[in-house]
A and B are shown apart, each in its own frame.
Chain A
């Protein structure tokens, strides 16, 4: 079975420190903007308050709506299922930005559209994405979802997981493990 990269984020361990955001800026030499973000939502009535923290980025969806809308084919799926952008072919028309239900794409400083690529150059060297490597609570796990022996598969098989905006039916490849049992 071909390798299919995915990410699992344990919401029980994520404290919202934004180290992933800083690691992303550092890796991509893009100080001032990051390809990921941390969102915090506080809801409820005192004393029953609930804080939800999500480290968000491109979900590398299997049915990514940003790929078919691209008029030049710049937005595409790589062999390992990553959603990538051919910088040379990207006109910066922002059709993919409009199509993404997760607001995970944005115009980059070079004019082409930018987004998380799971630090593909690092992954090709057999390393982890920068955000995963720098997470101080080790809340993030990156790996091949098709590897039955992998940690990522084990977590998905043993813990309850959710994806962002399941109603969008994009089959995201970032999974959030429930914070509560």
Chain B
């Protein structure tokens, strides 16, 4: 009879922060990616208010997640270009400002370019931020940014379908678009939680 191999582990003291970024952050990443996608896709001028709403809600979720909200201004009072999250904070602020200006001054067509660039940043940044964390091998440095980018663009395209008065009346299109949005949200949560605990 083969002796049984024992593997036991016990721990006392410091509580491990098993889930440091929970479902609220998954939702925030979904909204920010959605907003970024809308800012890139061809109908950005028509959907800028949707992009603004998604991004503003994402920012609110992110702010509420902060443990010490009174320190939030340090994101903008510090210069930490080596930190992906510092870039993320500036992307949020600049994208919101650009969308507001574009909404107030729709004649400024040249804003289409900076809005698209900021949108690209919003789409790419979360995956790069997660992928850069070597301590979390589940967040692959290449596949995480790639999958996040595809999901963001896919969710934005799905919202465009739902906003289109002709397409949304076709059950196949509207059902598919809704499914894409739900799958994107679920995948975000799965990827985020897989790297923790």
Contact = CB atoms under 8 A, between A and B. Distances in A.
Interface of A: 18, 20-21, 24, 33-46, 49, 56-57, 65, 68-74, 88-95, 97-101, 103-108, 110-113, 168
B136 interface: yes
B108 interface: no
Given A45-B4, A94-B20, A97-B20, A168 B135 contact: yes
Contacts of A33: 14-15
Contacts of B75: 71-72, 91
Contacts of B20: 94, 97-98, 107
Given A33-B15, A69-B84, A103-B16, A92 B66 contact: yes
Nearest to A113: B67
Contact of B68 (A71, A106, A112): A112
B134 A103 contact: no
A65 B134 contact: yes
11 contacts: A42-B6, A43-B7, A43-B8, A65-B133, A68-B82, A72-B74, A73-B80, A95-B129, A98-B136, A103-B16, A110-B67
Contact of B86 (A35, A71, A92): A71
B109 interface: no
B30 to A, nearest CB: 18
Q: Nearest 5 A-B pairs (CB), nearest first?
A: A92-B67, A37-B13, A111-B67, A21-B13, A72-B74
Most buried by A among B15, B71, B88, B196: B71
Given A46-B6, A57-B14, A98-B20, A107 B67 contact: yes
Nearest to B137: A101
A89 to B, nearest CB: 5
A36 B82 contact: no
Contacts of B133: 65, 69, 98-99
B89 interface: yes
Nearest to B17: A106
Contacts of A38: 11-13
B8 A42 contact: yes
A156 to B, nearest CB: 25
B40 to A, nearest CB: 24
A34 B16 CA distance: 10
Contacts, number: 153
Contact of B13 (A18, A74, A88, A99): A18
B85 A43 contact: no
Interface in B110-124: none
Contacts of B77: 72
Contacts of B3: 45-46
Most buried by B among A88, A92, A112: A92
B73 to A, nearest CB: 9
Nearest to B197: A103
A33 to B, nearest CB: 5
Contacts of A39: 9-11
Contact of B72 (A41, A42, A91, A103): A91
Given A65-B134, A95-B85, A103-B16, A43 B71 contact: no
B14 A37 contact: yes
B32 to A, nearest CB: 14
Contacts of B85: 69, 71, 93, 95
B83 A69 contact: yes
